Amino acid sequence: MGEVEDATGKPIFPHDAVMFETTTGGAQHGHGRGLVLKALPDKRMISVLCVDGTEVEKKPCELTVVDRTMLRLGMPVMSASDTGGQAGVITGVATALDLVDLNSGAVVATGVSAAEVCPVMEKLSPGDYVVSGTWLGRVLELSFDVDVLFDDDSSVCRVTRASDDNRLRILDRECMLDEDSFLPGDRVTGDSSVFKASRWLRGHWKPNRCEGTVAKVGLGGVLVYWVVSLHASADPPPAYQANPRDLTFFCSGDIYRMWFWLVSQRCFFRSKHRRQTKKVRRWRGTRRRTRRPDRRDLERPMAVADTRTTVDVLWQDGTRQQGVPSASLLRILVQNPQDFLPGQRVVSKAVVPGQHNNNNNNNNNNDDDDVPRRVGIVQSLSYKDQTAYVSWITDHHDPAGESSSEVDTTVMSTYDLRRSSDHNFLYGNIVVRRLPARETTGMEAGGDTKQVINDLSWVGHIVGLCDTEYIHVKWGDGNTSKVLLGEIAFVKPRRIEDMRNEMGDWVHDEDDDDATEDRAQEDSNDGGEVDHNSVMEAEDGHVRAAAIGHVGNIIMEVIRTASGMLAQLNRFLASGLMVSASRSMKPAAKPENIQSRLPKRSKNDNAQGAVPAEPLASHDSGDNAVFHLKHFDVVQSPQDHHYLDNKEQQGSGGPRAWLKRVQKEWKILETDLPDTIYVRAFEDHMDLLRAVMVGASGTPYQDGLFFFDMKLPPSYPVTPPQVKYHSFGLHANPNLYPSGTVCLSLLGTFGGEGPELWSPDMSTILQVLVSIQGLVLTEKPYYNETGFEAQVGTPEGHRNELPYCESTYLVNLNTMLHLIRRPPGSFRAFVMDHFRRHGQHILRACEAYLKEGCPVRTLDGEGCATKASTEQPPCSKGFRLALTNVVPRLVEAFTRIGAQGSEAAPGMKVAEDEVDLAEPKDTVQDSEEEEGTV
């Protein structure tokens, strides 16, 4: 719905508070304020909920977004006026409310703090974190008890589990946010049998009593999944808590169910004094009188007429803003892997020369995973340049057994960083205190646990991360302290669906969207509270931002040094294949036309029969020499095939129909394969195949090789083939997972309909291969992610698409290095021959990126700039900085395999001291002094 804009050009989202013109001069439709519910199907009108509960329809141009209350601590955001700029994280939230009387519409109070009011019913929600004794758990299910008052004689009946199976139904209520919640004053009805089986608090059941008024609502029972305890060996409380008063609410755990104050919601004052000023007494005699409750005596709640939410934001450049109006921000639903925030722990992906893991047992293992890596803390980031200030922590241990830490701050390319899997936490994440072993033992042996049980001092939220030694935690008892990493344990968010499945028969199936909502919650890592006293002054953040700009010259100097090194490419290229001097400035190829630009070969291009050896490609002179390696061939199966040890092997035999279909597939592959796809079938394992694709020019996959192992199950072609991608642990595409999974509708690994799905009669292996090359290895792989196609042409899409392409090209280069070091069987000669021929194009492309700043995807097939290279913004400094780490390894690898012109290659090496940015600490200090003099 964010594509719909208001009168000022701001996007409109569900639950936004909006202002609109009233049709009369009075206070009609909630004083011109309302809450956005949804866009109507034609998107020409917006459904708005008014304060009095009525629903109106407005044109988007008639609305102005004035507030967004659904913002929480730890949530990533961006400025609504700069959607292509930097991101930030919310570190504090404050909401003020205007309240009106429901009966008269009169204003009761304005600017009321959210802490001064409470919902009509203090209730828990699924996903909430609760504490019982020394255990922290999450709410899975709730049941409600409703007291119903009958008008004829003021009898009262208590209906348990009122919301289950529509035991009670609400009557005569206008559109409300909480349609399934019962509120005092609601008119409800139910079957006579429901009231007959219920407990009567006053009066007794009568057959004609089927309608009444809600007098009171309370929690009847709570089902809890217990997550973690202060004591490691303590037994958890019962999962079903019949008395919710035994539970202490800690925080909401689900962004889609947590409590936000929204326009039209009902509430009471928490303070009895403020309630008294509003309440009208009906009995004022000197004589004490008692009577039965009456519907007229029920206290009516107030309604929220307006909200004003402000937040504190820590931006990527290190600056902090306080009191930012919520309407000026947008929530970031999707973050690139390079979207680091200050305080996040990272490790370097840059490989130290000579350090490699030689494990050859798994094609999908990242060879560099076992290399020891330092942990760093992001201090600030330049999103435009894709560079980050990182404080690296090195622990030292002297012979006496004492340890110390050394902090070294450098400027890094964001492409050379990744989140530390051992320190994957952010602002608002929940933590629990680790008790010393001796203290835990003493308490478990019968020590005094009263203090621990009665307070929340052992569970809290992260509120500060930029400290290189300590983490700042705000505990449940309100205190804030600094703790070491080893003194706390992190509570990893889990999907409610998974916890329900683990609980088994405890839980009834419900039609909800928990799976989708909880996945978004996991990616966001939201939650927590902020300690405003710990917030740094804004000036400190501006110093960091200035420092990033100051070291820009250093970055450019490093890039110039690397570019100078690449100047030796001229000798490297000159001694290799000569390129024609007249190159046409042709635009990059479009992925949607990939099949049409891949020429088909005639049936006579391949000889018949299987050959056991791997024929080498011809070394004809000229850049455009054609490979003479057969595009399809039948050979002996390689030992490194992913499915070779599969238990359901068909081997060289099988049912006659299955063999006939396989032979038909082979014939299609032999005659119709595009020139950039090569396939090997295996005479001793007819159920297995291996395919390789050459990355097309005009894409970030240019000149790369992408291998896929395939298996035809015994049920083939009723079921689609199984496909495994040789990822080497790298994430080359949203549809190519590091695990090797290929996400494609045709393979049944992704949803689809009609022709997108596998058809036993129509679908073929060739269709699978062409689909992977044409739909996955595309020009703009960012949009392959589910739902991201809606971002095409939007500022948010442009913001994420370019860094994703740069990152993908770096993955492509690293995949080349893995393939040269460990080429897949049946294609070893092909891999070497491909990179002998194309190595010069790959290095020429790196030169164009480093020296000319050409954007990724804009080079021709020989790695030269095109017209599009000058029409688009240049590639980022961080991308070029990351290239300086990859190019020396490429040169070394190409030299080792004897790439054409390799006699000039040994001189193309970047010295280690040229890559490392010098003395970043001094740079920061100088920037601070400079700032101070200003």
CA pair distance 672, 463, nearest whole angstrom: 60
**Helices and strands (H, E) in the chain, number of each type:** 19, 37
Instruction: Give the tens place of pLDDT for each residue, 582-635.
Output: 333 333 333 333 333 333 444 434 333 333 344 444 434 344 444 468 999 999
Residue 445, in any domain of the structure? no
| 290 within 8 A of 283, measured Cβ to Cβ | no
Are 778 and 868 within one domain? Answer: yes
Residue 454 has pLDDT above 90, yes or no: no
CA pair distance 812, 728, nearest whole angstrom: 11
pLDDT-derived band at 243 (thresholds 50, 70, 90) equals confident
pLDDT-derived band at 653 (thresholds 50, 70, 90) equals low
Highest-confidence range of 6-10, 63-67, 390-394, 643-647, by mean pLDDT?
63-67
Residue 124, in any domain of the structure? yes
Are 788 and 648 within one domain? Answer: yes
What is the arithmetic mean of pLDDT over 68-94?
89
- The HSE-up count of residue 525 (CA atoms within 13 Å, CB side) is 17
Which residues lie across from 139 on neighbouring strands? 224
Domain containing residue 678: CATH number: 3.10.110.10
Residue 105, in any domain of the structure? no
| Mean pLDDT rounded to a whole number for the chain | 76
Are 137 and 21 within one domain? Answer: no
What tokens does 470 get?
């300590």
Contacts of 688 (CB under 8 A, 6+ apart): 637, 641, 643, 644, 681, 682, 709, 710, 711, 712
SS3 903: helix
> In this predicted structure, what is the pLDDT of residue 234?
78
Are 17 and 135 within one domain? Answer: no
Residue 511, in any domain of the structure? no
Instruction: Give the tens place of pLDDT for each residue, 697-741.
Output: 999 999 999 999 999 999 999 999 999 999 999 999 999 999 999
487 against 576, higher pLDDT: 487
Residue 21 has pLDDT above 90, yes or no: no
Instruction: Give the tens place of pLDDT for each residue, 516-526.
Output: 334 334 444 44
Candidate list 175, 210, 743, 864, residue with the active-site label: 743
pLDDT-derived band at 908 (thresholds 50, 70, 90) equals very low
> In this predicted structure, what is the pLDDT of residue 342?
93
Residue 933, in any domain of the structure? no
| 840 within 8 A of 577, measured Cβ to Cβ | yes
What is the arithmetic mean of pLDDT over 26-40?
72
Give the closest residue to 112 by CA, choosing from 266, 307, 265, 279. 307
**What Cα–Cα distance (Å) separates residue 473 from each residue in 314, 319, 429, 742, 840?**
17, 21, 10, 41, 54
463 against 446, higher pLDDT: 463
Provide the domain limits for residue 50. 1-67
Residue 280 has pLDDT above 70, yes or no: no
Residue 452 has pLDDT above 60, yes or no: no
Count of domains in the chain? 3
Q: What is the DSSP letter of 318?
A: S
Q: Is 175 a catalytic residue?
A: no
Residue 384 has pLDDT above 60, yes or no: yes
Instruction: Give the tens place of pLDDT for each residue, 772-816.
Output: 999 999 999 999 888 888 888 887 888 889 999 999 999 999 999
Residue 152, in any domain of the structure? yes
Out of 65-74, 263-272, 529-538, pick the least confident. Answer: 529-538
Give the closest residue to 660 by CA, choosing from 609, 716, 607, 606. 716
Residue 503 has pLDDT above 90, yes or no: no
> In this predicted structure, what is the pLDDT of residue 576?
45
Are 26 and 126 within one domain? Answer: no
Contacts of 8 (CB under 8 A, 6+ apart): 64, 65
Residue 99 has pLDDT above 70, yes or no: yes
Dihedral sign for Cα atoms in the order 776, 778, 780, 783: negative
pLDDT-derived band at 466 (thresholds 50, 70, 90) equals confident
> In this predicted structure, what is the pLDDT of residue 372?
56
> In this predicted structure, what is the pLDDT of residue 912?
37
Are 610 and 750 within one domain? Answer: yes
Domain containing residue 10: CATH number: 2.30.30.1060
What is the arithmetic mean of pLDDT over 884-905?
80
Are 45 and 122 within one domain? Answer: no
Are 707 and 856 within one domain? Answer: yes
Give the closest residue to 780 by CA, choosing from 752, 807, 757. 807
CA pair distance 11, 83, nearest whole angstrom: 11
Are 673 and 795 within one domain? Answer: yes
What is the arithmetic mean of pLDDT over 349-355?
55
What is the arithmetic mean of pLDDT over 641-653?
71
Out of 117-131, 248-262, 826-840, pick the least confident. Answer: 248-262
Are 720 and 867 within one domain? Answer: yes
What is the arithmetic mean of pLDDT over 314-333?
93
Out of 297-311, 599-613, 656-670, 681-695, pick the least confident. Answer: 599-613
Residue 570 has pLDDT above 50, yes or no: no
Lookup result for tokens 């019913």: 121
> In this predicted structure, what is the pLDDT of residue 650?
58
Residue 155, in any domain of the structure? yes
Are 59 and 138 within one domain? Answer: no
Are 637 and 751 within one domain? Answer: yes
Residue 331, in any domain of the structure? no
Q: What percent of the chain has pLDDT over 70?
A: 70
Residue 354 has pLDDT above 90, yes or no: no
> In this predicted structure, what is the pLDDT of residue 399?
60
